[in-house]
């Protein structure tokens, strides 16, 4: 039997297994609290799973002389996932004073036809997979951006459930070289080269003017 004595929770090896993830055929575990029979005391079993999720389970209690017997009816929602489950009992008296036991562990098995979280594994045939891929491709294509007859691009807006017109066009001409009349140069580097050439030309003209002034 599982026992609590002087605040120490002890789970024998034969009591560690509490079921398979997803089981709904409830079993009962009993916990004997040795030399403790506090009136109005409530007991809560705290379980922490491998993924960090926590479940608190109220335990029913019956006092027998100087001892207390706790009962835990293991339900499906207590079997959240397979693996090792850390366990600790919280004891709260009538004046709301709280005391915890030491920690021990249970373990939950995994079923062949279920995932680790107890959810049924979905079996998909090759033809079903092919149909799902085809449906996914059709869905993507139906919401793909496109160029309208007006030259503007239209994109799908999920919140509106339809396409909206953007301010972007793809019919602008891209110049292969930069000149004083270019509206859409091919790249920033081209612009930089062009500006550098213009500055050099201006400096040369200034030099010519300075030379002419020096001869006056």
pLDDT digits (tens, 9 = 90+) for 11-48: 999 999 999 887 887 789 999 999 999 989 999 999 99
50 class by beta-carbon count within 10 Å (0-12 exposed, 13-18 middle, 19+ buried): middle
- Kindly report the pTM of this predicted structure: 0.52
Position 125 pLDDT exceeds 70: no
How far apart, in whole angstroms, are the C-alpha atoms of residue 162 and residue 214? 72
Closest CA to 82 of 40, 111, 42, 55: 111
How far apart, in whole angstroms, are the C-alpha atoms of residue 207 and residue 44? 93
- Average pLDDT, whole number, for the chain? 80
What is the predicted pLDDT for the residue at 74? 93
What is the predicted pLDDT for the residue at 184? 54
Closest CA to 167 of 148, 182, 185: 148
How far apart, in whole angstroms, are the C-alpha atoms of residue 108 and residue 20? 5
Q: Of the ranges 42-46, 49-53, 182-186, 204-208, which one carries the lowest mean pLDDT score? A: 182-186
Residue 73: partners with Cβ closer than 8 Å, 6 or more residues away: 26, 27, 28
Closest CA to 171 of 155, 147, 190: 147
Position 173 pLDDT exceeds 60: no
What is the predicted pLDDT for the residue at 11? 95
């Amino acid at each position: 039997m599982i026992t609590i004595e002087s605040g120490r929770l002890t789970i024998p090896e034969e009591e560690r297994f509490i079921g398979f993830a997803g089981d709904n055929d409830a079993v009962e575990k009993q916990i004997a609290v040795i030399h403790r029979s506090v009136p109005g005391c409530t007991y809560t079993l705290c379980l922490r799973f491998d993924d960090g999720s926590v479940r608190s389970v109220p335990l029913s209690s019956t006092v027998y002389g100087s001892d207390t017997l706790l009962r835990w009816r293991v339900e499906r929602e207590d079997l959240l996932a397979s693996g090792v489950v850390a366990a600790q009992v919280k004891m709260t008296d009538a004046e709301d004073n709280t005391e915890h036991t030491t920690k021990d562990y249970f373990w939950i098995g995994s079923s062949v036809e279920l995932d680790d979280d107890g959810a049924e594994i979905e079996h998909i045939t090759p033809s079903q997979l092919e149909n799902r891929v085809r449906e996914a491709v059709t869905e993507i294509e139906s919401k793909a951006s496109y160029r309208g007859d007006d030259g503007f691009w239209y994109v799908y807006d999920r919140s509106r459930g339809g396409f909206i017109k953007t301010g972007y066009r793809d019919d602008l001409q891209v110049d292969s070289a930069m000149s004083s009349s270019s509206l859409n140069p091919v790249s920033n580097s081209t612009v930089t080269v062009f500006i550098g050439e213009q500055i050099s030309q201006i400096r040369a003209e200034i030099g010519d003017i300075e030379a002419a002034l020096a001869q006056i």
